[in-house]
Amino acid sequence: MNELDRKIIEALTRDARTSFRSIAAEADKSTDTVINHYRQLTDEGVIRGSTVVLDAGRIGYEGTAAFHIDVSTTTGHTPAQVLDTLIRMPNIIVATKTVGEHDILALAAIHDVRHYTELGREIAAIPGVRSISSNVWAGNPEICPKYFII
Amino acid sequence: MKQEQSLDATDTAILRALQLDARTKYTQIAEQQGVSVDTIIKRLNKLQTDGTVKRTTILLDPRRLGLEIIANLAIATEPSCTEEVIAHLRGREGILFATHTMGQYPILAIAATHTMNEMNALKEAIQSHTKVHDTKASIWVDQILLCPQNFELEPEEAPR
Enumerate the β-bridge partners of residue A107: A66, A94
pLDDT at B160 over 50: no
Nearest-CA distance A135 → chain B (Å): 4
The torsion of the CA quartet A22, A23, A27, A29, rounded to 10 degrees, works out to: -80
Residue A150 confidence class, pLDDT cut points 50, 70, 90: very low
Q: Are residues A101 and A131 in the same domain?
A: yes
The ipTM, to two decimals, is 0.82
Residues of chain A found within 8 Å of residue B94, distances taken between Cβ atoms: none
- pTM (whole model) above 0.90: no
Do A21 and A87 lie in a common domain? no
Instruction: Based on the fold, state whether residues A66 and A107 are members of the same structural domain.
Output: yes
Are B148 and A66 inside 8 Å of each other by CB?
Answer: no
Tell whether B51 lies on the interface with A, counting CB pairs under 8 A: yes
Residues in chain A closer than 8 A to B72 (CB atoms):
66, 98, 105
Residues A118, B159: C-beta atoms closer than 8 Å: yes
Same domain, A27 and A71: no
Q: Do A14 and B57 touch (CB under 8 A)?
A: yes
Q: For residue B23, give the nearest of A50, A112, A149 by CB distance.
A: A50
**pLDDT at residue A148, rounded to an integer:** 54
The domain spanning residue A25 has which CATH number?
1.10.10.10
CA distance A139 to chain B (A): 10
- What CA–CA distances, in Å, run from A37 to A17, A21, A46, B89, B126? 16, 13, 11, 36, 39
Q: Judge: A15–B139 Cβ closer than 8 Å, yes or no.
A: no
Are A147 and B18 inside 8 Å of each other by CB? no
pLDDT tens profile B78-126: 888 899 999 999 889 999 889 888 877 899 999 999 999 999 999 999 9
Between these two residues, B157 and A46, which has the higher pLDDT value?
A46
How buried is residue B155: exposed, middle or buried, by Cβ count under 10 Å (0-12/13-18/19+)? middle
Calculate how close chain A gets to B79, using CA atoms only, in Å: 16
pLDDT at residue B3 tops 70: no
Q: According to the model, what pLDDT value does residue B61 have?
A: 85
Q: Which of residues 90-149 of B touch A (CB under 8 A)?
A: 96-97, 99-105, 108, 110, 112, 136-149
In a domain, A109, yes or no: yes
For residues B156 and B135, what is the distance between their CA atoms, to the nearest angstrom? Answer: 41
Cβ atoms of A84 and A34 closer than 8 Å: no
How does pLDDT run across A4-14, given as a tens digit for each residue? 999 999 999 99
In a domain, A144, yes or no: no
| pLDDT of the residue at B158 | 41
Would residue A7 count as lying in a domain? Answer: yes
Where are the domain boundaries for CATH 3.30.70.920 in chain B? 62-139
Q: Is residue A34 domain-shared with residue A85, that is, in the same domain?
A: no
Distance (Å) of CA A102 to CA A98, A99, A127, A131, B131: 7, 7, 17, 9, 25
Location of each CATH 1.10.10.10 domain in chain B: 9-58
CATH architecture of B9-58: Orthogonal Bundle (1.10)
Pick the CATH number of B62-139 from 3.40.50.300, 3.30.70.920, 3.30.43.10, 3.40.50.150: 3.30.70.920
A99 vs B105: CB contact, 8 Å cut-off? no
Q: In chain A, which residues have their Cβ closer than 8 Å to the Cβ of B112?
A: 144, 147
Query: Cβ contact (<8 Å) for A147 and B101?
Result: no
Domain residue limits at A26: 3-43
Put simply, the answer to whether B138 touches A112 (Cβ < 8 Å) is: no
CA closest to A103 among chain B residues:
B138
Give the closest of A16, A45, A136 to B64, CB-based: A45
Q: Distance (Å, rounded) from C-alpha B88 to C-alpha B90?
A: 6
Higher pLDDT, B37 or A150: B37
Question: Is A100 among the domain residues?
Answer: yes
Q: How many domains does chain A have?
A: 2
Chain B nearest-CA distance from A75, in A, is 22
d(CA B102, CA B66) in angstroms, rounded, equals 33
Going by C-beta distance under 8 Å and a sequence separation of 6 or more, which residues neighbour residue B25? none
Burial of residue A116 (CB within 10 Å: 0-12, 13-18, 19+) is buried
Within 13 A of A36's CA, how many CA atoms are on the CB side? 6
Q: Are residues A119 and A94 in the same domain?
A: yes
Instruction: Tell me, yes or no, whether A65 and A126 share the same domain.
Output: yes
CATH number of the domain enclosing A83: 3.30.70.920
Cβ distance B151 to A109 less than 8 Å, yes or no, reads yes
Same-domain status, A78 and A108 = yes
B116: phi then psi, degrees, rounded to nearest 5: -65, -40
